[in-house]
Chains A and B, each alone.
Chain A
Amino acid sequence: MQRREFLGFSIAAGLSAAGLPGCSSSGPLRFGIHPWIGYEPLYLADDFNWLPETVALRPGTSTTDSMEGLLAGALDGAALTLDETIRVWSRGLELVVVAVADVSAGADVLMVKPAIDELAALRGQRIAVELNGVSGIMLLKILEVAGLGPNDVTKVDLPVSQHADAWSRGEVDASVCYEPTASMIESLGGVRLFDSSDIPETIFDVLVVTRETAKKNSSSVRDLVRAHFAGLQHLVRNMHDSVYRVADRQGIAPDEVRSALATVMLPDLAANQRYLRAAGPIETMAGSLSRLMLAEGMIDRNPSIQRLSDPLFLPARVP
């Protein structure tokens, strides 16, 4: 199970029934995307026909689709988290981060029983975590901040969507999760001890393309990135309109969209320039993440990433 799938559940069935569009060998840039608040700008751009014909969105239900599509060569790019980017890279496919869609600022949370009042108290506790997802990364970071070793806690590897059930059964003392699981656990008596806003600029949702696509089809990559920023502009400037559109797609209430938007930072062009520059936050974080993931056995080999992000595809300005 992957992160960011809860929002997409409602439409997943429909899309699965329709089947993923066939993968054409040439033509437009095939970009895998799945529902997540940070990727909404691209969906909006698609709604308003701001995506030129050089880019074709390939909607999936979760990042699993995107990662496998990339590895199978069915996709030229995808919306992934930074750790997923590293996972794909470690499996031998070179990727380039061409835009940062969002930075988690509270979307990922650590829910604990009220008795646990500080991170150090996690020692010896049972923590529900989805190791093979961003939740796993979040836990690693939490342990890092708490100054605990991996074996100081009991990891209960569960898909995030099942954390609430496990909590209600009393099987876990803490859960690393995100909305809406977090709200469910909160209603079950859990408290928020820690969230991603405490570790700023750690959990990134990024737009990546394969190195080959970046080289051979750079104009399409530019079109993609430009469309993302056009959608972002609409999302921010026409919030009165966009919340309804996002709500409609994700099947939630407009107010929930507003609160979801509050848990992510949507970096604009200037911020993207800063993130993507050589040896910038993205590359620095990718370096530390891959060391961490290697140490934890999440990846088999160090992808030894030299150059991950490239700001060259960012437009000069948003139209």
Chain B
Amino acid sequence: MNVRRFVISVLLLIATELMAIAEVNADETLTLGVFAYRPDHVLQERYQPLADYLSRETGIRIRLEVLNQENMSRAIAANRLDLFLTNPSHFLLIRSERSLTGVLATLVRRSRESSTASLGGVIFTRAGRNDIEHLADLRDKTIASPGVHFLGGYQTQVLELLDAGIDIRRVNLIRFLGTHDRVVRSVLSGDADVGFIRTSILEQLAQTDPDLFTRVKVLNRQRLAGFPYVVSTRLYPEWPLVALPHVNERSVRKIASALFAIEPEDDVALAIGIAGFSPPADYQSVEYLARTLRVPPYDQVPQLTWVDALHQYRLWVFTILVLVMLLVASSLWLGRSKRQLASEQRRLRQLIRSWPQAALLIQGGVFSDTNRASVDLLRYSSSESLIGKDLAVFSPEYQPDGEISRQKLASMLARVSEGQVEQCEWVLNRSDGTEVWVELTMAPVHTEDEPEALILCSLYDITRRKRAEQRQRLAASVFEYAREAIFITDNHGIVIDANDAYLAITGRPRNRAIGRLPPLPVDEGTGIFASARAQGFWSGEFASRRNDGEPIALAVTLSSVRGDHGEVSHFVGIFSDISRLKEQERKLRIMAHYDALTGMPNRVLFADRLQQAMALTRRQSGKLAVVYIDLDEFKPVNDAFGHEAGDQLLVEIATRMRAELREEDTLARLGGDEFAAIVMNVQDDASLESLLVRLLARVAEPAWVADHSVEVSASIGYTLFPQTGDLDGDQLLRQADQAMYQAKHRGRNRYVRFVEPSA
């Protein structure tokens, strides 16, 4: 605040107060300020009667002072006025500056017979301005107005136009001319297009200028029955007459009663052109107007504090606060979920990336993402080699099941896209050309609202398993198709599995084979399991019987199978039917030792038997004789009757000779028509010679061959054992042979004993 002004104000105030005190009950003077809304002299002339009337009625000298708004405000600030009469807007301004209490009375204006305590605004233009008919035409027009603080000369019009959608304060050029009279002149002279004046001005001017209404045109004219003036706006209460607070109460009462005492017919009323004063009106509507237009004293937007705003908009603030809190909370929650989602995604990606099993993402039929394991599986160096390609690229043309890889893949992808999970075995080609068997699993990982199918494809390398399976299949087929019987027993020897060959050889049906002991050798029995357990295997041949009782010979190999801890868990046995082999062996043996024609031992067996007989004789200190027999005249028979007849004869004679010998003696055919015999336990020469005689006789008997009776004889040489020298079998037989030749020489059909030739 200006210090000087403040000091002056205080001094003035003190001075006035002193004067007031001094003049109590003395010749008191009060100053009545009247707002010069029209030229000063007009008002001075008009309101002087009021001052005189009040002076007369109250005994207080009332001095009239006509002031414009600024001067009045200044005079009031300086306390130079005691009473004032001004328009409601100006009153509001002063009231807000001085914090005045109230209004003494409201002016009631008169117009001929009628009166009114209301005022309004007039919007007018020159008659003949055909371009201005409605409020809307005021746009861009020049406007003349007495001043912004004029209620009827400015503010009412502004509000009316604002309601009509025109804010003239923004769009129009407005000239403020100070008084209403100047406005009227300005419009009439054409300086301004439109004029704003308060009600009653035109009517007052028309008293001196009767044809005024023919020269002006009032816009937006309101039809208000009983209102005495032309008006363009809504109405507000008339001017207030206000006493300043420093005027003593007694004076105020006197003045008020004098004011209310004025009757319309009184001279003073007629002189001023009013109907009197009414009790104070409600100036709320003017206040509302000033607030709406933001004109002084409401031109400043009050500094709203937070507390004010909070009080005013408690519900809104609370609601917004709650909403903001909800927003923040939901943002936080969203952020957290987003982070969680991101970390989950990372974890998932990491999981797939680092998962030791090959995993690939298929989007649109081609790989969109791969992990390390899948790159390694296919033996590529980086995932770029895989991305953008489909699985068929890495597959051979045909899959092992015979389907074309690309077709099979396409149908699988179609099914997976529909939500199924597909699993199959698949063969892939590695970058180095090798094959790899994989177990292929494809599962959809897209949600239904995602337009493009996203498929997770995992590959599990089953090459090793596949190979093991192949080996196993091979082993199984060996087991199944082997000619040898194969059986597996538990560690007690009970058969738990056996192949078809086992059943075929043993002749047992499967139910009688499983759960029982396998064929075992009679002598060792289950002992062979103990042997196999101890030595790891047992093998041998033995005779057994088929289920139907037929004998069979078996060659068995039994192996122990050890478990993880070295203990014998199973036995595996393999055997074959060697019955036929044994038979052949027997036949061969017979063929080697016996003469095929006569069934007698041949030279080999004879030699063997001779060895045994010699050993036995030596041990028993007995004697044996070796006899060599050769048929005489046999060849002619052969020639005459054929070989068959010869053979028949040989068989016949052999049989006869055999019949003459004892059981322990041996007769052998050495070849052709030569026979040899070993005679055991020769007691003496006589008995031997009698035997030899019988032999000769039997040979000599006629035989019936080829429908002929044939007679042959034999030449026999013999020798005895032991002799003085140590002899072997061959030597003995040679001795007998030599003796036989002697017999041939001596004329056949006789026997001759070997005699050591004399040296």
A residues within 8 Å of B by Cβ? 48-49, 237-241, 244-245, 247-248, 251-255
- Please tell me if the beta carbons of A241 and B225 are within 8 angstroms of each other in the complex: no
- Please tell me if the beta carbons of A240 and B225 are within 8 angstroms of each other in the complex: no
- Please tell me if the beta carbons of B225 and A251 are within 8 angstroms of each other in the complex: yes
- Please tell me if the beta carbons of A247 and B285 are within 8 angstroms of each other in the complex: no
Known contacts A245-B224, A247-B224, A247-B226; is A240 also within 8 Å of B117 by CB?
A: yes
- Please tell me if the beta carbons of B225 and A244 are within 8 angstroms of each other in the complex: yes
B227 at the interface (CB under 8 A from A): yes
Going nearest first, the 3 A-B pairs with the smallest beta carbon separation are A244-B224, A241-B235, A240-B118
SS of B interface (majority) = loop
Instruction: Give bound CA distance, A248 to B226, whole Å.
Output: 8
> Which residues from chain A contact B117 at a C-beta distance below 8 Å?
240
Instruction: Give bound CA distance, A128 to B222, whole Å.
Output: 40
- Please tell me if the beta carbons of B284 and A244 are within 8 angstroms of each other in the complex: no
- Please tell me if the beta carbons of A238 and B285 are within 8 angstroms of each other in the complex: yes
**Would you list 8 pairs from A and B whose C-beta atoms are within 8 A, ordered by A residue?**
A238-B236, A239-B282, A241-B234, A241-B236, A244-B235, A247-B226, A248-B223, A254-B226
Instruction: Give bound CA distance, A299 to B368, whole Å.
Output: 85
Instruction: Give bound CA distance, A239 to B120, whole Å.
Output: 13
B493 at the interface (CB under 8 A from A): no
- Please tell me if the beta carbons of A244 and B227 are within 8 angstroms of each other in the complex: yes
Q: How far is the CB of A183 from chain B (nearest CB, A)?
A: 18
Instruction: Give bound CA distance, A237 to B282, whole Å.
Output: 8
- Please tell me if the beta carbons of A238 and B225 are within 8 angstroms of each other in the complex: no
B288 at the interface (CB under 8 A from A): yes
Instruction: Give bound CA distance, A237 to B284, whole Å.
Output: 7
> Which residues from chain B contact A248 at a C-beta distance below 8 Å?
223-226
Contact residues, B226-272 vs A (CB, 8 A) = 226-227, 234-238
Instruction: Give bound CA distance, A244 to B120, whole Å.
Output: 12
> Which residues from chain A contact B281 at a C-beta distance below 8 Å?
240
Q: How far is the CB of B199 from chain A (nearest CB, A)?
A: 11
Closest B residue to A249 by CB, please name it: B225
Residue in A48, A239, A244, A251 whose beta carbon sits within 8 Å of that of B163 in the complex: A48
B residues within 8 Å of A by Cβ? 117-118, 120, 163, 222-227, 234-238, 281-282, 284-285, 288
Q: How far is the CB of A28 from chain B (nearest CB, A)?
A: 21
> Which residues from chain B contact A244 at a C-beta distance below 8 Å?
118, 222, 224-227, 235
- Please tell me if the beta carbons of B224 and A238 are within 8 angstroms of each other in the complex: no
Instruction: Give bound CA distance, A237 to B292, whole Å.
Output: 15
> Which residues from chain A contact B237 at a C-beta distance below 8 Å?
240
Closest A residue to B120 by CB, please name it: A241
> Which residues from chain A contact B223 at a C-beta distance below 8 Å?
248
- Please tell me if the beta carbons of A254 and B227 are within 8 angstroms of each other in the complex: yes
> Which residues from chain B contact A255 at a C-beta distance below 8 Å?
226
- Please tell me if the beta carbons of B236 and A240 are within 8 angstroms of each other in the complex: yes
Q: How far is the CB of A38 from chain B (nearest CB, A)?
A: 19
Q: How far is the CB of B411 from chain A (nearest CB, A)?
A: 59
Instruction: Give bound CA distance, A222 to B741, whole Å.
Output: 165
Q: Among the interface residues B117, B118, B282, B288, which one has the most CB atoms of the partner chain A within 10 A?
A: B118
Instruction: Give bound CA distance, A48 to B163, whole Å.
Output: 8
> Which residues from chain A contact B235 at a C-beta distance below 8 Å?
238, 240-241, 244
Residue in A48, A237, A239, A254 whose beta carbon sits within 8 Å of that of B225 in the complex: A254
> Which residues from chain B contact A247 at a C-beta distance below 8 Å?
224-226
Instruction: Give bound CA distance, A49 to B162, whole Å.
Output: 13
Q: How far is the CB of A50 from chain B (nearest CB, A)?
A: 10
Q: How far is the CB of A160 from chain B (nearest CB, A)?
A: 24
> Which residues from chain A contact B163 at a C-beta distance below 8 Å?
48-49
> Which residues from chain B contact A253 at a C-beta distance below 8 Å?
225-226
Q: How far is the CB of A168 from chain B (nearest CB, A)?
A: 29
> Which residues from chain B contact A48 at a C-beta distance below 8 Å?
163
Residue in B118, B226, B238, B284 whose beta carbon sits within 8 Å of that of A241 in the complex: B118
Q: How far is the CB of B68 from chain A (nearest CB, A)?
A: 25
Instruction: Give bound CA distance, A252 to B224, whole Å.
Output: 10
> Which residues from chain B contact A245 at a C-beta distance below 8 Å?
222, 224
Closest B residue to A248 by CB, please name it: B225
Residue in B222, B226, B285, B288 whose beta carbon sits within 8 Å of that of A240 in the complex: B285
> Which residues from chain A contact B236 at a C-beta distance below 8 Å?
238, 240-241
> Which residues from chain B contact A237 at a C-beta distance below 8 Å?
282, 284-285, 288
Instruction: Give bound CA distance, A48 to B233, whole Å.
Output: 11
Instruction: Give bound CA distance, A240 to B115, whole Å.
Output: 12
Q: Among the interface residues B120, B224, B281, which one has the most CB atoms of the partner chain A within 10 A?
A: B224
Closest A residue to B227 by CB, please name it: A244
Closest A residue to B231 by CB, please name it: A244
Closest A residue to B235 by CB, please name it: A241
Closest B residue to A257 by CB, please name it: B226
Instruction: Give bound CA distance, A255 to B118, whole Å.
Output: 13
Extra inter-chain contacts (8) besides given A238-B236, A241-B234, A241-B235, CB under 8 Å: A237-B284, A240-B236, A240-B281, A244-B222, A248-B225, A252-B225, A253-B226, A255-B226
Q: How far is the CB of A135 from chain B (nearest CB, A)?
A: 27
Q: How far is the CB of A89 from chain B (nearest CB, A)?
A: 37
Instruction: Give bound CA distance, A253 to B225, whole Å.
Output: 7
Q: How far is the CB of A260 from chain B (nearest CB, A)?
A: 13
> Which residues from chain A contact B288 at a C-beta distance below 8 Å?
237
Q: How far is the CB of B519 from chain A (nearest CB, A)?
A: 104
> Which residues from chain B contact A238 at a C-beta distance below 8 Å?
234-236, 285
Closest B residue to A44 by CB, please name it: B234
> Which residues from chain A contact B222 at a C-beta distance below 8 Å?
244-245
Q: Among the interface residues A241, A248, A253, which one has the most CB atoms of the partner chain B within 10 A?
A: A241
Q: How far is the CB of A59 from chain B (nearest CB, A)?
A: 16
Q: Among the interface residues B227, B237, B282, B284, which one has the most CB atoms of the partner chain A within 10 A?
A: B227
Closest A residue to B288 by CB, please name it: A237
> Which residues from chain B contact A240 at a C-beta distance below 8 Å?
117-118, 235-238, 281, 285
Q: Among the interface residues A244, A252, A254, which one has the most CB atoms of the partner chain B within 10 A?
A: A244
Q: How far is the CB of B691 from chain A (nearest CB, A)?
A: 153
Instruction: Give bound CA distance, A49 to B135, whole Å.
Output: 15
Instruction: Give bound CA distance, A253 to B114, whole Å.
Output: 11
Instruction: Give bound CA distance, A255 to B115, whole Å.
Output: 11
Q: How far is the CB of A97 from chain B (nearest CB, A)?
A: 28
Q: How far is the CB of B142 from chain A (nearest CB, A)?
A: 27
Closest A residue to B117 by CB, please name it: A240
Instruction: Give bound CA distance, A251 to B223, whole Å.
Output: 11
Closest A residue to B315 by CB, please name it: A316
> Which residues from chain A contact B225 at a C-beta distance below 8 Å?
244, 247-248, 251-254
Instruction: Give bound CA distance, A106 to B234, whole Å.
Output: 29
> Which residues from chain A contact B120 at a C-beta distance below 8 Å?
241
Instruction: Give bound CA distance, A49 to B160, whole Å.
Output: 12
Instruction: Give bound CA distance, A120 to B644, whole Å.
Output: 183
> Which residues from chain B contact A241 at a C-beta distance below 8 Å?
118, 120, 234-236, 285
Q: How far is the CB of B120 from chain A (nearest CB, A)?
A: 7
Q: How far is the CB of B752 from chain A (nearest CB, A)?
A: 160
Instruction: Give bound CA distance, A207 to B737, whole Å.
Output: 169
Closest A residue to B224 by CB, please name it: A244
> Which residues from chain A contact B234 at a C-beta distance below 8 Å?
238, 241
Instruction: Give bound CA distance, A247 to B223, whole Å.
Output: 10
> Which residues from chain A contact B227 at a C-beta distance below 8 Å?
244, 254
Instruction: Give bound CA distance, A133 to B235, whole Å.
Output: 36
Closest B residue to A255 by CB, please name it: B226
Closest B residue to A49 by CB, please name it: B163
Instruction: Give bound CA distance, A188 to B329, whole Å.
Output: 79
Instruction: Give bound CA distance, A261 to B15, whole Å.
Output: 50
Instruction: Give bound CA distance, A252 to B225, whole Å.
Output: 7
Closest B residue to A233 by CB, please name it: B288
Closest B residue to A254 by CB, please name it: B226
> Which residues from chain B contact A49 at a C-beta distance below 8 Å?
163
Instruction: Give bound CA distance, A247 to B118, whole Å.
Output: 14
Instruction: Give bound CA distance, A244 to B282, whole Å.
Output: 16
Instruction: Give bound CA distance, A56 to B223, whole Å.
Output: 22
> Which residues from chain A contact B118 at a C-beta distance below 8 Å?
240-241, 244
Q: How far is the CB of A2 from chain B (nearest CB, A)?
A: 24
Q: How far is the CB of B302 from chain A (nearest CB, A)?
A: 19
Instruction: Give bound CA distance, A240 to B225, whole Å.
Output: 13
Instruction: Give bound CA distance, A264 to B94, whole Å.
Output: 37
Instruction: Give bound CA distance, A200 to B20, whole Å.
Output: 53
